[in-house]
A and B are shown apart, each in its own frame.
Chain A
Amino acid sequence: MNSTIVLLVLLALAAAAWFAARAKARGMFTGRGSLAALPSYHGWHMALWVLIPALVGWTLWNAISPGFLYSAILADPSASLLPAMDMERDAVIAEAMAVAANDGFGAFRPETSAIVPVVQSLTAKFAWIGAALSAILAFAGGAYGYTRITASFPARTRVERGVLALLMAASFVAILTTVGIVGSLIFETGVFFSQVSPIDFLFGTNWAPDPFAAVTPELGEKLGAVPLFWGTLFIGAILAMIIAIPFGLMSAIYLTQYASAGFRRWAKPALEILAGVPTVVYGYFAALTVAPMVRDFATSIGIENATTESALAAGLVMGVMIIPFVSSMADDSIAAVPQSMRDGSLAMGATKSETIKRVMIPAALPGIVAGIMLAVSRAIGETMIVYMAAGAAANLSANPFASMTTVTYQIARLLTGDGDFDHPATLSAFALGLVLFVVTLALNIVALRVVKRYREAYE
């Protein structure tokens, strides 16, 4: 019994209930004010009574039936042939279930084929029980809903209460997501720190994770994340910002203060395209075009053994990606500077550029700084550009032509490898994720506070 079919049947029943209830309510209509609610609300009320109990029952049954199924399989006479060892027996049953669910799947164990028919018939039986259960609940709920249709019944109020509960549940998902992120990061990080000392991880300078190494207390010596933190900061907060801040700021100044309306109308969206290009495209461009250029440049100024994977190539492209972000933040904060301050400066005989440099930028500085903090938080969380252009070598150096690795690169690398999920080297990805989450969160909270306080100052 397919769950899609069950769902469709329930929806059809609910639709039938809607029409039946509306028809009954219409029959009670004797004139203006004779019904407490519109007939269609009676329809919705009954449809909800059909749908909700049945869906709840169906979900509960799906959650608990695997347990019943398991014991039913064990109780079957053919199960006596199964291995006595718990683990082996579970493996055989799991395999039989996979075979039963998908006929193309071949069985590896000889014992499996013996119990497949049993599993198949039991699975079908349990699915039928579930379907029958939800049908009974649908009809019971429908019957109750149908009896409630009276002239004085406030169907609309009841339905609207349901709608409000739905709205509330939807907005609760945001909290659940946050809790899910924080919870899963902290949980996995806790497992990681039970095997590796946090001090080794946070202050160690040797990063050479090996997901196949034996788990010993000395493992922490190879999981020092300082080179990653440095690489992340160097690429995201230094190199990228050296590009993004002047270019973004000057673009915003030109667009808001100098450009004609016609130029602004097409230049601003064109600049926004830079922010809309997927990061994987930037990464490919960085690896294909920018990195070889950077290498040739490095060779030409006499740096030996320059590689194609360099912090500079990644930082450069990331900086360009961030330009529209810095530009639009600077745009907002410059626009928020009161016109009177600008007029005052111009009236004193200052030129436009003097006004901008001496009056507008100092006044807009908190907003601009907040914008830069948000830009940094975005840059250090960026993955694909560094994955494709910055390299894997954990270098603790200030040489922009060196290959460098970042927190995001290592997270992606560790979790896409073949390593065991429970190995400390793999779990360290979650610890890195937690650090990244905390840092970006802190940057965002501080930046938003600054922006808020700054806006209030001029309003």
Chain B
Amino acid sequence: MSSWHTPEAAARLKKRYASERRFKAFGFAAIAISLSFLAFLLFTMVKNGVSGLDWNFLIGADSTNPDDAGIWGAFKGSLLTMAVTLAISFPLGVLSAIYLEEFAPRKKWVDWVEVSINNLAAVPSIIFGLLGLAIFIQVMGLPRSSALVGGLTLALMTMPVIVISGRNAINAVPPSIRDAALAVGASRVQTVFHHVLPLALPGILTGTIIGMARALGETAPLLIIGMRVFAASPPEGVTDASSVLPMQIFLWSDEIDQGFIQNTSAAIIVLLAFLLAMNGLAIYLRNKFETRW
């Protein structure tokens, strides 16, 4: 009894408690510093860019004069590219997720599909640019720098994200739903398309939006396929040479004229606002439609 109350023991305990407090403070500091870096980044962009955010900036095309330059051309390029990406990656992603979760037999080639998808999700984005350059431009002869090639390249990059989130969403639908449909005579295809897919759709959409947000912020693969263009007028269609928002930021950041700092920061604000809105939508969808079975 007495040995616990010696001065040495009390001192040791004090030291241990001090180290406990220190450790906790370190943890808090780690988060605080990380978040203040984010705050500092956002503050810098707002400070530099908010005065450049006006109507002319939003509807103008690129220009060599920072006062005339706007983001509409790049923005339209982003919209076209995202449209191609969504049109390719969403059906492909959802259909493969359905196949892998519901129908795939235990065969060697199915394992290969799974391995491919998991690895593709981790391949550096610049490698997809090399693929786009070698296959879509060199072999298939599609127009360089176009939203079509950019969209196809990003679609291949986004597809694994959609497949993985789609599989999770389909897997979360309880077997009792399937059993009930099968028990009243539905075929397996009917069960999946009439019952499982509608229930899994919110989860799939959440994953799709997150994948699209990533594609929207991507620059490196598009740099490789030559979407580094100065477009004084917005692209008319998916085969025209076009730029995208992140690429416009990259191009302006290279300009020597000080006026472009404001443009670059303003474009970053627009891009971040879009990404935030997309992620917010994803979170909203998840919270609204998520069912706990």
- Residues B126 and A175 in contact, CB atoms below 8 Å apart: no
Q: Contacts A171-B99, A444-B119 given; indicate if A180 touches B218 (C-beta within 8 A).
A: no
Interface residues in A134-188 (C-beta closer than 8 Å to B) = 156, 160, 163-164, 166-168, 170-175, 177-178, 180-181, 184-185, 187-188
Describe B's contact surface by its main secondary structure: helix
Tell which of B26, B40, B41, B95 touches A281, judged by Cβ atoms closer than 8 Å.
B41
> How far is B31's CA from A274's CA once the two chains are assembled, in angstroms?
11
Describe A's contact surface by its main secondary structure: helix
Interface residues in A373-387 (C-beta closer than 8 Å to B) = 374, 377-378, 380-384, 387
List 17 A-B pairs, Cβ < 8 Å: A156-B187, A167-B98, A174-B159, A181-B131, A185-B130, A250-B27, A257-B27, A278-B217, A278-B219, A278-B246, A281-B268, A284-B268, A289-B44, A354-B16, A378-B122, A387-B220, A436-B126
Q: Contacts A173-B159, A271-B35, A281-B41 given; indicate if A160 touches B130 (C-beta within 8 A).
A: no
Bits for A232-249, please: 1 = Cβ < 8 Å to B, else 0.
Answer: 000000000000001111
> How far is B127's CA from A378's CA once the two chains are assembled, in angstroms?
12
B252 to chain A, nearest CB (A): 9
B183 to chain A, nearest CB (A): 18
A193 interfacial by beta-carbon distance below 8 Å: no
Bits for B1-44, please: 1 = Cβ < 8 Å to A, else 0.
Answer: 00000000000000011011001101111110111011011001
Query: Contacts of A277 on B, CB cut-off 8 Å?
Result: 38, 41, 217, 272, 275
Interface size of B as a range: 35 or more
A429 interfacial by beta-carbon distance below 8 Å: yes
B134 interfacial by beta-carbon distance below 8 Å: yes
- Residues A415 and B133 in contact, CB atoms below 8 Å apart: yes
A255 interfacial by beta-carbon distance below 8 Å: yes
Bits for A353-390, please: 1 = Cβ < 8 Å to B, else 0.
Answer: 11011000000000000000010011011111001100
B284 interfacial by beta-carbon distance below 8 Å: no
- Residues B116 and A170 in contact, CB atoms below 8 Å apart: no
A382 to chain B, nearest CB (A): 7
Bits for B232-256, please: 1 = Cβ < 8 Å to A, else 0.
Answer: 0000000000000011011001000
- Residues A254 and B116 in contact, CB atoms below 8 Å apart: no
- Residues A247 and B30 in contact, CB atoms below 8 Å apart: yes
Closest 8 CB pairs of A and B: A381-B124, A254-B27, A278-B217, A184-B134, A170-B95, A250-B30, A171-B96, A383-B220
- Residues A276 and B126 in contact, CB atoms below 8 Å apart: no
